[in-house]
């Protein structure tokens, strides 16, 4: 897997994917304090700003240690974050886990599909990832539709995979393999 020396800023037709920094504290807080965003996360809605700061610090450290990369999603020309997207972790065997979230004001406009498409392209072409995984809670139909639109397939039901609030939850494992990505980009 290729290493990242500098944080990559990515562009799409409508979006900029940028490093998340302390200036985004209020945006991150607003995003993750919304129960519509956190309902399919193993995360309680944020109630205090320090929780948003912890999120920013956590992903800055993940990038610094070359363990993951998380972008803030902005509309081109704006600075306000409308969501985040990125690789939560990389493994030495060219596998990565992807995660994403978007403020409800921006749902159903194609923004997440657009952002994920660019991040997947970066992962496959620059980072040489062979397998991208996404864990999705059953019932998160919007997330499932986005992944399927981008070529992911449901590989498995992971029984009692996630533990949160003293309960175990099943998760679907969705996967996009390099060979499928390459076949999609050729056709």
Q: What is the pLDDT of residue 3?
A: 65
In degrees and rounded to multiples of 5, residue 6 shows phi and psi of: -125, 150
82: its two tokens? 């409308």
| Domain contains 163 | no
The pLDDT of 81-99, averaged and rounded, is 94
Banded model confidence at residue 92, pLDDT cuts 50, 70, 90: confident
- 92 versus 34: the higher-pLDDT residue is 34
**For residue 112, is it within any domain?**
yes
Query: 162 in a domain, yes or no?
Result: no
**Domain span at 20:** 10-133
Is the pLDDT assigned to residue 1 strictly greater than 70? Answer: no
Is residue 111 a part of any domain in this protein? Answer: yes
Among residues 108, 103, 136, the alpha carbon closest in space to that of 36 is found at: 103
Query: What CATH number is associated with residue 26?
Result: 3.40.630.30
DSSP assignment of 54-70: HHHHHHHHHHHTTS-EE
Q: How far apart are CA 76 and CA 92, in angstroms?
A: 33
Entry pTM: 0.94
Q: What is the mean pLDDT of the chain?
A: 95
Report pLDDT for 5: 73
From CA 57, how far away is CA 50, in angstroms rounded? 10
| Structural domain contains residue 180 | no
- Mean pLDDT to the nearest integer, 149-171: 94
- 3-class SS letters over 102-164: ECHHHCCCCHHHHHHHHHHHHHHHCCCCCEEEEEECCCCHHHHHHHHHCCCEEEEEEEEEEEE
The structural domain count of the chain equals 1
129: phi then psi, degrees, rounded to nearest 5 = -70, 140
Does a structural domain hold residue 118? yes
Is residue 156, in this structure, part of any structural domain at all? no
φ and ψ of 48, to 5 deg: -135, 150
- The DSSP output letter for 24 is G
Q: What are phi and psi of 66, to 5 degrees?
A: 60, 35
Does residue 158 lie in a domain region? Answer: no
């Amino acid at each position: 897997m290729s290493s990242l020396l500098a944080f990559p800023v990515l562009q799409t037709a409508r979006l900029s994917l940028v490093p998340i920094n302390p200036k985004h504290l209020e945006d991150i807080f607003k995003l993750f304090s919304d129960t519509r965003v956190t309902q399919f996360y193993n995360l309680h809605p944020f109630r205090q700003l320090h929780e948003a700061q912890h999120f920013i610090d956590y992903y800055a450290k993940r990038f610094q240690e070359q363990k993951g990369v998380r972008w803030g999603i902005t509309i081109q020309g704006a600075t306000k974050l409308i969501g985040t997207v990125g690789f939560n972790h990389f493994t030495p065997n060219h596998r990565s886990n992807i995660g994403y979230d978007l403020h409800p004001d921006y749902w159903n406009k194609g923004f997440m599909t657009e952002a994920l498409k660019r991040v997947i392209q970066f992962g496959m072409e620059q980072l040489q990832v062979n397998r991208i995984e996404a864990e999705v809670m059953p019932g998160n139909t919007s997330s499932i539709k986005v992944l399927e639109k981008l070529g992911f397939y449901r590989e498995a039901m992971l029984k009692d995979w996630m533990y949160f609030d003293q309960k175990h939850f099943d998760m679907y494992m969705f996967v996009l393999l390099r060979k499928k990505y390459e076949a999609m980009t050729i056709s």
